[in-house]
Amino acid sequence: MAVGRSTARSAAGRTDAGRGGAGRGAAGRGAAGRGAAGSVQARIVAAAVGLFSEQGFDATSVQEIVERAEVTKGAMYHYYRSKDDLLYEIYHALISTQLTDLDRILAAGRPLPDAIRAIVVDLVETTAARLEETAVFARESHRLAGDRMAALRADRRRYHEAVRDLVVRGQKDGVFAASASAETVTLIVFGIVNQLPQWYRPDGEKSPRQLGDEIADFVLAGLAG
Amino acid sequence: MAVGRSTARSAAGRTDAGRGGAGRGAAGRGAAGRGAAGSVQARIVAAAVGLFSEQGFDATSVQEIVERAEVTKGAMYHYYRSKDDLLYEIYHALISTQLTDLDRILAAGRPLPDAIRAIVVDLVETTAARLEETAVFARESHRLAGDRMAALRADRRRYHEAVRDLVVRGQKDGVFAASASAETVTLIVFGIVNQLPQWYRPDGEKSPRQLGDEIADFVLAGLAG
Amino acid sequence: MAVGRSTARSAAGRTDAGRGGAGRGAAGRGAAGRGAAGSVQARIVAAAVGLFSEQGFDATSVQEIVERAEVTKGAMYHYYRSKDDLLYEIYHALISTQLTDLDRILAAGRPLPDAIRAIVVDLVETTAARLEETAVFARESHRLAGDRMAALRADRRRYHEAVRDLVVRGQKDGVFAASASAETVTLIVFGIVNQLPQWYRPDGEKSPRQLGDEIADFVLAGLAG
Amino acid sequence: MAVGRSTARSAAGRTDAGRGGAGRGAAGRGAAGRGAAGSVQARIVAAAVGLFSEQGFDATSVQEIVERAEVTKGAMYHYYRSKDDLLYEIYHALISTQLTDLDRILAAGRPLPDAIRAIVVDLVETTAARLEETAVFARESHRLAGDRMAALRADRRRYHEAVRDLVVRGQKDGVFAASASAETVTLIVFGIVNQLPQWYRPDGEKSPRQLGDEIADFVLAGLAG
DNA sequence: AATGAATGAGTATTCATTCAT
DNA sequence: GATGAATGAATACTCATTCAT
């Protein structure tokens, strides 16, 4: 759904509101006539996420994307200006969700260790729910360079600094040990999350919640020194 | 030097050994005639590592590699069968070094926490010394899939299992807490190392040794529970 | 106005006449709602002329035309069958005006040198007033080849032959020298006019009238031998 | 031949000297195996000139060029960086020849009317010999805009100014009348030449020399006032 | 040991146009 | 009268690789 919202930015103006509601259950001839579900935009983004995560951005051709999405190339370029634009949508959707969660957790004003645990668990859970997006993001993060991506870089930095500040406060208050610098610990935490798609398997025995707790245990124990 | 050894493996059949000992003397001429230092092979691999780490494997053209290496395309294909072959060399050189170090550390038979620390510090140090190789490795690891890369996959798994076994033994002996599973902890450790190229800057204030100790502190504290 | 008349000819069947007289009043609404002046058709043709003259026909996309005209693509295809159709309108409007002027001049029955001067001055003046149209015409004249353009080719030939006949008569009467053939002189005159858009600048110091006289002086001196 | 020389600029280094001479009569397997004559570069340029003059630069696809040249697309891009590069070569070859001729004529130091006649005749003759190149040049001259073309713009301006200066001197000396400005006359002369490809037919009854003299007669008569 | 010409399949993107609404 | 989604063929250009020399 967040995807739908964000794609509207590059689509010619038609938002989800214009589609989903009542009275228009058929969602257009095109969608109904295809095997795949969802709007044209959603199908394109889903196909792109899947392929980018499997093969990498450069190794994925636009041809492959439109074939998997069962859409013509022209249709794709009707909604997205370029292949890069598609990547932007993917990044944007992922970061937006996580930032919203972060703000909610910070607003709750819990004790530091609880806040850290909540953040780690949320990161692990949202990442587990969006393994492919995270894989793409981690692998192609150098593409955040252009002007287009400036807002996303800022979002990412805000998340990073929020976590680091929590660690700093904990070290000042004596709740956390200072053996490792707050910056290093923060980088470690994001490093762990970014690597998750490399090894976490959703069909494994551990639930995302369990894994999140396990990682939070480890991180908090490390912070306790 | 390790690079030199490994490239012989992939030379298209006309390896040094195949040419007979006599021709050896001429090898230096090409290198001396160019502005850059090192043998032709070394220059090619160095150029490839640099470009792969900056732009990714797919985004790097053979043309770019030979231009940076100041070598003709024909020359490159004289030494390497393909662009993939170049990637193999890079992986091989990195894994070989780290496995050799691992064996040395294990052979020393130190107490478990010391061994873990030694491994983490060594990984951080060798990674800091080969940031680009590690960046390539982490990013393009899915390319280990083919037959060609089977040996490398096995090496990597051996390293992984050695570390996990140390953790398991520590948990059995009660030296380490069991709150996080040995497998998860191991994956976390390699995750941290693989992410290092994303944020470690060699010109920063921390030496690799310091950083290695800091990370080892964190990991051991996490293991201590 | 000439444009307005001619476009009716190419409208896809739903011309004003076809719609019935009643609907006429609404025609102004669209124009008033936009920033640009003029009817939708006039805006489209003006945009096309400008772009074709700046970039050439092939280098101009329909998208660019409708953007400059502040019109949707669908609207454009409502009025014009194709991009070629637009070119036809431009040619048609230009040639019609000039042929009308020619007939007026010929009908006046002045002495030969005066008639030649009047024609040259008129050509220079109407060309200066429609520099862009002339630029398009001169550059894309090979597109007059198709069936569609047959009438325009005939018009052009009539103009050419009228001028040549004047020269022939002058040479027979001894008013003009015969050093250069009448055909060559005629081609030279049209060549000069067709090239005008390449160098005549409306904001320069010479008025079209002055320039026309200067060129007529030159041509008549050449004819005088 | 001039074409061959100029293309060497963008070819990888192999000049005509490396081909044409003795001992290599076969001119390479590729050339001998094809129906068309000449080196790969010459065939490509010839095909491009022909198509550009027939259809225009934009209307001509690279595919068409390589098909007519009986060359693969890759081969074309081996020798020319882009389609624009091809245009540059065509312009360059044409302008170079004409400038060389101009310098020879100016160096002869003949009386003004004779010099003007020599220039006009030479322009008409070289243009008649390179009708297609001139057609392309006249039609696509707006492409001289980019940085790449700066040298060509300068050459063209030099030619223009040389002719204008001759006219100015003639007017000062009283050899030529001043009814039309020197600048206008110069523009007229080049206008006539640029338009030549539109109507001159090499299979017609007039030889280039005859036509050149006829045009020179007309121009000199115009100048005499 | 090394060159550079040549290949041909593949790339992302743009195009004029159609059509249901 | 006008919209905008959708098409599919065409575009210029790049690629890793081969091969005769």
Averaged pLDDT for residues A111-123: 96
Q: State pLDDT tens for residues D191-206.
A: 999 999 999 999 989 9
C37 at D interface, C-beta within 8 A: no
* A214 and A164 assigned to the same domain: yes
Rounded CA Rg of chain C: 20
B177, B181, B214 ranked by CB distance to A184: nearest? B214
Query: Could you say which of B139, B184, B218 has the minimum Cβ distance to residue A214?
Result: B184
Clarify whether residues B110 and B64 are in a common domain.
no
The answer to whether A184 faces chain B, any CB pair under 8 Å, is yes
CB-CB under 8 Å, B221 with A179 = yes
Whether the CB-CB separation of C64 and C51 falls below 8 Å is answered with yes
| Position B25 confidence tier, pLDDT thresholds 50, 70, 90 | very low
What pLDDT shows up at residue B143? 84
Q: Report DSSP state, residue C36.
A: S
Q: Mean per-residue pLDDT for C196-200?
A: 94
CA distance A151 to A144: 9
Q: Do A25 and A94 share a domain, yes or no? A: no
Q: Is B23 within 7 A of strand E by CB distance?
A: yes
A to B contact (≥3 Cβ pairs closer than 8 Å):
yes
**Sequence-distant (≥ 6) Cβ neighbours of residue A54 within 8 angstroms:** A60, B142
Asked if the C-beta of A199 comes within 8 angstroms of chain B's C-beta atoms, the answer is: yes
User: HEC profile for chain D?
Assistant: CHHHHHHCCCCCCCCHHHHCCCCCCCCCHHHHHCCCCCCHHHHHHHHHHHHHHHHCCCCCCHHHHHHHHCCCHHHHHHHCCCHHHHHHHHHHHHHHHHHHHHHHHHHHCCCHHHHHHHHHHHHHHHHHHCHHHHHHHHHCHHHHHCHHHHHHHHHHHHHHHHHHHHHHHHHHHCCCCCCCCHHHHHHHHHHHHHHHHHHCCCCCCCCHHHHHHHHHHHHHHHHHC
Using N-to-C axis directions, what is the helix angle for D40-55 and D83-108, rounded to 10°? 90
Minimal Cβ distance to B59: which of A55, A58, A221: A58
The residue of chain A with its CA nearest to that of B210 is A180
Q: How far is CA D101 from CA B180, C73, C208, D95, D128, in A?
A: 87, 51, 35, 10, 15
Identify the residue with better confidence: C33 or B109: B109
In terms of C-beta density within 10 A (0-12 exposed, 13-18 middle, 19 or more buried), how is residue A31 classed? middle
3-state helix, strand, coil in chain B (%, to 5): 80, 0, 20
User: Are A185 and A95 in a shared domain?
Assistant: yes
pLDDT at site B150: 86
Residue B6 sits at the vertex; the CA angle it makes with B5 and B9, to the nearest 5 degrees, is 105
Q: What is the pLDDT of residue B183?
A: 94
Contact call for residues B183 and B191 (beta carbons, < 8 A): no
pLDDT of residue D18: 32
Q: Is it the case that residue D172 has pLDDT exceeding 80?
A: yes
Q: Is the CB of C20 under 7 A from strand F?
A: no
Confidence of residue C150 (pLDDT cuts 50, 70, 90): confident
Task: With a cut of 80, say whether residue D22 has pLDDT above it.
Answer: no
Measured to protein CB atoms, the chain F nucleotides within 7 Å are 1-21
Model pLDDT, residue B37 = 60
As a whole number of angstroms, the distance between CA A93 and CA A129 comes to: 13
If pLDDT is split at 50, 70 and 90, which confidence band does D37 have?
A: low
pLDDT of C20 strictly over 70: no
Q: What is the CATH number of the domain that holds D148?
A: 1.10.357.10
Q: Which of B194, B198, B187 is nearest to B127 (CA)?
A: B194
Interface test with A, best of B141, B195, B205, B210 (most A CBs within 10 A): B195
Please give the pLDDT value at position A28: 37
* A25 contacts A31 by C-beta, under 8 angstroms: no
Segment among A90-104, C97-111, C145-159 with least mean pLDDT: C145-159
CB contact under 8 A, C218 and D184: yes
pLDDT at C192: 94
Of B118, B94, B93, B91, give the one whose Cα is nearest residue B104: B118
At position D46, the amino acid (one-letter code) is A
- As to burial, measured by CB atoms within 10 angstroms (0-12 exposed, 13-18 middle, 19+ buried), residue D75 is middle
User: What pLDDT digit, counting tens, does each position of B53-83 carry?
Assistant: 999 999 999 999 999 999 999 999 999 999 9
Structure tokens at B98: 């780290």
DSSP state of A205: S
| CA dist., res. A11 & res. A75, Å (int) | 11
Residues C188 and C161 in one domain: yes
Specify the range with the lowest mean pLDDT, choosing from A133-137, C39-43, D163-167.
Answer: C39-43
What's the burial of C36, exposed, middle or buried (CB within 10 Å: 0-12/13-18/19+)? Answer: middle
Last residue of a domain, one of B63, B80, B97: B80
CB contact (8 A) between residue B180 and residue A217 = yes
Q: Helix %, strand %, coil % for chain A, to 5?
A: 75, 0, 25
Count CB atoms within 10 A of the CB of residue A190.
Answer: 18
Distance CA C68, CA C43 (A): 8
Mean pLDDT of chain B: 84
Burial of C201 (0-12, 13-18, 19+ CB in 10 A): exposed
Residues A119 and A38 grouped into a single domain: no
Residues 138-177 of A with CB under 7 A from strand F: none
Mutation site for D-interface testing, chosen from C58, C131, C164, C184 by largest number of D Cβ within 10 Å: C184
Rounded CA gap, D182 and D171, in Å? 8
* Count of the separate structural domains present in chain D: 2
- Give the residue from C61, C1, C71 showing the smallest Cα distance to C40: C71
Last residue of a domain, one of A28, A46, A81: A81
Q: Tell me if C198 and D188 make a contact (CB, 8 A cut-off).
A: no
CATH number, domain of C38, equals 1.10.10.60
SS3 per residue for C145-179 = HCHHHHHHHHHHHHHHHHHHHHHHHHHHHCCCCCC
F6 nearest neighbour residue (CA to C1'): A75
| 3-class DSSP assignment, residue C78 | helix
Check whether residue B108 and residue B200 sit in a common domain: yes
Q: Is the pLDDT of residue A34 over 80?
A: no
Q: Which residue of chain A is at minimal alpha-carbon distance from B58?
A: A58
What does the pLDDT read at residue D142? Answer: 86
Other C-beta atoms closer than 10 Å to the C-beta of D147 total 6
Q: How far apart are CA C39 and CA C76, in angstroms?
A: 12
- Cα B41 versus chain centre, distance: 17
| Structure tokens belonging to residue C120 | 């040259």
A213 touches chain B (CB under 8 A): no
Mean per-residue pLDDT for A144-154? Answer: 85
**pLDDT at residue C2, rounded to an integer:** 32
pLDDT bin (cut points 50, 70, 90) of residue C201 is very high
User: 10 Å Cβ neighbour count for C122?
Assistant: 17
> Encoding tokens for residue B123?
């990984």
Together in a domain, A114 and A218: yes
Task: Tell me what the pLDDT averaged over chain A comes to.
Answer: 84
Q: Do residues A117 and A220 lie in contact, with contact meaning Cβ atoms separated by under 8 Å?
A: yes
Amino acid at B167: V
B13 touches strand E (CB under 7 A): no
pLDDT tens per residue across span B123-160: 999 999 999 999 999 999 888 777 778 889 999 999 99
pLDDT higher than threshold 80 for residue D35 = no
Same domain (yes/no): D145, D202: yes
- Say which residue, A140 or A147, is predicted with more confidence: A140
A160 in contact with B, Cβ within 8 Å: no
pLDDT score recorded for residue A23: 32
- C44 touching chain D per CB within 8 A: no
> What is the rounded average pLDDT for all residues in chain C?
84
- The residue-averaged pLDDT of A12-30 equals 33
Residue D36 confidence class, pLDDT cut points 50, 70, 90 = low
Binned at pLDDT 50, 70 and 90, residue A123 comes out as very high
Residues D175-200, mean pLDDT to the nearest whole number: 94
> What is d(CA A17, CA A8) in angstroms, rounded to the nearest whole number?
10
**CA dist A51 → A66, B138, D39 (Å):** 11, 18, 45
Tell me the average pLDDT across B169-195: 94
Other Cβ atoms less than 10 A from the Cβ of C58: the count is 16
Kindly tell me if the per-residue pLDDT of D181 is higher than 50: yes
Q: Which structural domain range is residue A196 located in?
A: 86-224
End position of a domain, from candidates A57, A81, A105: A81
Do both B107 and B128 map to the same domain?
yes
What per-residue confidence (pLDDT) applies to D90?
93
Q: Sorting pLDDT into bands at 50, 70 and 90, what band is C225?
A: confident
Q: Tokens for C156? A: 């052009």
Nucleotides of E under 7 A from a protein CB: 1-21
pLDDT (tens digit per residue) in C153-172:
999 999 999 999 999 999 99
Residues 43-82 of chain B in contact with strand F via CB under 7 angstroms? 60-63, 73-74, 77, 81-82
Q: C178, C193, C82: which is closest to C135 by C-alpha?
A: C193
Q: Name the region of B37 (left: φ>0; alpha: ψ -120 to 50; beta: rest).
A: beta
Q: Which residue has the tokens 């107490």?
A: B111
Residues A112 and A142 grouped into a single domain:
yes
Confidence band for B3, pLDDT divided at 50, 70 and 90: very low
Q: Which residue has the tokens 């259950």?
A: A25
Q: Are residues D190 and D130 in the same domain?
A: yes
Q: Which residues contact B157 (CB under 8 A, 6 or more apart)?
A: none
